[in-house]
Chains A and B, each alone.
Chain A
Amino acid sequence: MSANVPERRKASVVARGVHICALVLSSACVVPPPLGLDQPDAGANSAPVFLSVRGPDGKELAEPGPVTVIAHQDATASMTIYDADRTDTLTVQLFVDYTLQNPTSPRGTCTAPPPTDSSLERTVQCPLKAVCLDNDVANGNPHYFVFEVYDRDVTNDPVMFRSVASPGLIDHRWFLLTCLAPTQ
């Protein structure tokens, strides 16, 4: 198990095992546990947590990088995200050189709907095609590259493109980005 998995997750795995054992011992045929077993206490929203971010070549990325992306390449990043709230739809956005003075729109967006199994981890692929633009290659490196995950709708208030509707929560990873010209 990854070191950055919340303690609550470990507890929920144990709790799930106990419930499953009880169900097995009390019935002839087992019905899988109700989804609610994996959910935290009612009323609390658990934050989504990045467990890993991988580049297009499958390599797991470590902060602060550097991370290299080839402009226009039809490639994807792969993120594994933990969320104790299984019913949350997660949105991931990728930003390059975003500042409050120049709040540029996301360079990548992807969605992780609720899983159909009992897993609390989701793996989602996000396109990297628009991460590096020609200007990013020509104007020099490095760039500031942020992955953010939200567990509610993304809004523009108070921060453009990067706010989340209440009671949503956010996790992020950041890297220094090197943009390369594509090769044939």
Chain B
Amino acid sequence: MKSSAVPLFFVIAGCLPDVSGQSLPPECHVDSDCPVSGQVCDESLCWGDPPPGNYAALVGPPQSNRGDLVVTEIPELSIPQDGGFGDLILQAPVHIGGRVHLGCNAFDFAGCDANAAVAASITVIRPSRIQGGPQYVDSTTSDATATTGDTFSVSVPRLALSDTPYTMTITPDETIPVVDGGPSAAELAPPLTIQVDATDDITGLDVTLGQGALRAVSGRITDATGAGVTGVRVSALGRFEALQPLERVSTVAVTDGNGYYTIFIAEAAYPIVDIVGHPQDKPGMTLRLRDVAADQPAQSVAELRIPAAGKPISVTLPVTGHSGAGVATPVAGATVDVTTELVDTSHPLQTTTFEVTTSTDAHGNATLGLIPASGVALREYDVRINPAPTSEFASVYAKKIEVGTTGGVLGAIDLPHRVAITGSLVDADGVPAEGVTVTAQLSLRLGLTLDTQTQALLSSLQPPTTATKPDGSYFVWVDPDLAGTAASYDLECVPPAGSRSPRWTFHDVTLAKDKDTTPMGTQGLPRGRHVRGRVVDEYGTAVSGSEVRLYEVVLDPSLCMASNLPSSCVLPAVLRSVDRSDDQGIVRLVLPDDRP
């Protein structure tokens, strides 16, 4: 917090503080000190001359004292030459409230009470009004103890008539029985998706679970002797929208004493699903029937068999790397993912996978409970190892290990060395930029060329990050190879709080071939252009503690040629600046100006 009296003292004394009271020399005293016509000198800074661009803003109110306000998207923000974009008006929310209960006529469950509230998680989502901006997402829960009235309420931005409605997904709870000793709501009803047009407050929204044209899928789970297995959790994974990753689209069933189950597929789900079973006593094992047609009101599917697999054995997998001096070094804190497929030739439609994920300990050892070999052949596992982003050792993919019938210590996996990207950042005046956070992200251009599976794999990795030293120098370790693809990176640079330099990204850094280091030399951050505005509520009252994120909408036709871009060719909007509003509601933002 800043004292409002302080600037007055400074003015009296004849010297102006800069915008945050920092120790940087003043940029100006009067407008004519500013280098560009139309800029305004205030708070020792030249404001204005924003670079041309399509700007948008996302304004988040403070939760603590302004619960009457809601996140507000401003899809087009015009910034005049003097840098003052005026008031950003936070909207009041609309409230969506309703009651979640079961449609009992759909179930063969005697204890069902159609008036009883049901526990569920509720998510509300819609596309951003900002092109390429983050989707609006909110979530809440349905209170199963509410005897009357609404069981949930969520506050969301009011929709305009032209807006896409909210998609509300209600996922019945899997842990709380609907009656004592009875099934959970997830066992009775699949997730439900509805569209909600929230142009005004909504109360009493009736959410009836388990209604509609559900499709029954029945089957059986057996063991290697053909006997039914009880207690296996079964569900269907599918899609409510094409191109989505798989998610649960059915009820959850637990096999009965003879191994039988029946699940119900949601009406809105696509008709091709995977039936998936997780034996309770075999953590990590997944039984799966792929691409099952579930387009009839009722269908039976092939039996799923739990293959004969010995009791898991404890295996220690050492993970090492060789430092620059050639010394073998244990790699602590690496994520180790180990998978194998258990083949059962008598059930060709079925795939059975076993997967264990763990981390290496301080001595570089990963301790794994693995299914042993059966018969004479060793059991082969695929191993993926991702060291911590600060590690000098690189990730490996699809490495093979083999285990026998007893546990013990396996041969070490030796990781290759990462490549260092080095450089030195200076500001627009050539002064070393200290304390700038540099993060090496998979380059957007490369990412868009990868298939969705590889993208998903790589998105689970932590990008390496560092901060520049007082002389502006930095280095980050990066993987030279990402799941079989030669890597290139975008270097995101975020100056520290109070800096006059803007956020900036150096795109498509390609690594030097067969070198330990990729030197970037001296890299200049663009000049920052300062812009400002005020956050207010609908009555014009200043709102302090709001966060404003200023985005630039990206229109780059060359990127639209990438193979895995959505057909709409909407690229992610670029976050240019972030600030919190002060006591007067003022936000001060810095835009990068890379014009010559």
Contacts and interface: CB of A to CB of B under 8 A. Distances in A.
- A and B: interacting chains: yes
Interface of A: 1-3, 13, 16-17, 20-21, 24, 27-32, 52, 54-62, 65-76, 78, 80, 89, 102-119, 121-123, 125, 127, 129-130, 133-134, 137-138, 140-142, 156-157, 160-161, 178, 180-184
A58 B58 contact: yes
A157 B363 CA distance: 11
Query: Which of A52, A104, A137, A140 has most B Cβ within 10 Å?
Result: A140
Given A72-B456, A178-B139, A21 B13 contact: no
B446 to A, nearest CB: 14
Contacts of A16: 3
A56 B435 contact: no
B483 to A, nearest CB: 15
B321 to A, nearest CB: 16
B361 interface: yes
Interface in B1-30: 1, 3, 5-6, 9-10, 12-15, 17-18, 20-24
B448 to A, nearest CB: 11
Interface of B: 1, 3, 5-6, 9-10, 12-15, 17-18, 20-24, 58-64, 70-71, 121, 123, 125, 128, 134-141, 169, 171, 174, 237, 239, 241-248, 276, 332-335, 357-359, 361-362, 386, 388-389, 434-437, 439, 441, 455-456, 459-463, 465-467, 494-499, 545, 547, 549, 566, 568, 572, 575, 578-580
Nearest to B336: A105
Contact of B14 (A29, A69, A104, A113): A29
A56 B137 contact: yes
A108 B389 CA distance: 10
A2 B241 contact: no
Contacts of A62: 63
Contacts of A127: 439, 441, 463
A156 B437 contact: no
Contacts of B276: 138
A73 B389 contact: no
Contact of A73 (B135, B335, B361, B494): B135
| Consensus secondary structure, chain A interface | loop
A116 B171 contact: no
Nearest to B248: A140
A56 B140 CA distance: 17
A76 B134 CA distance: 9
A59 B72 CA distance: 9
B63 A73 contact: no
28 contacts: A1-B1, A24-B12, A24-B13, A30-B9, A32-B17, A56-B135, A61-B63, A70-B137, A89-B467, A102-B357, A105-B333, A115-B497, A117-B21, A117-B498, A119-B498, A122-B497, A123-B497, A123-B580, A125-B494, A129-B459, A137-B246, A160-B359, A160-B361, A178-B121, A180-B169, A182-B244, A182-B245, A184-B568
Contacts, number: 240
A112 B465 CA distance: 11
Given A58-B547, A161-B359, A134 B456 contact: yes
Nearest to B444: A74
Contacts of A72: 455-456, 459
Contacts of A54: 60, 547
Nearest to A21: B9
A16 B2 CA distance: 10
A161 B547 contact: no
A137 B138 contact: no
B498 A110 contact: no
A115 B496 contact: yes
A125 B575 contact: yes
A113 B465 CA distance: 12
Given A105-B335, A129-B459, A134 B62 contact: no
Given A24-B12, A160-B361, A181-B245, A60 B63 contact: yes
A75 to B, nearest CB: 5
A68 B22 CA distance: 37
B13 A104 contact: no
A27 B12 CA distance: 11
A31 B164 CA distance: 54
Contact of A116 (B22, B140, B568, B580): B22
A69 B441 CA distance: 20
Contacts of A112: 437, 496-497
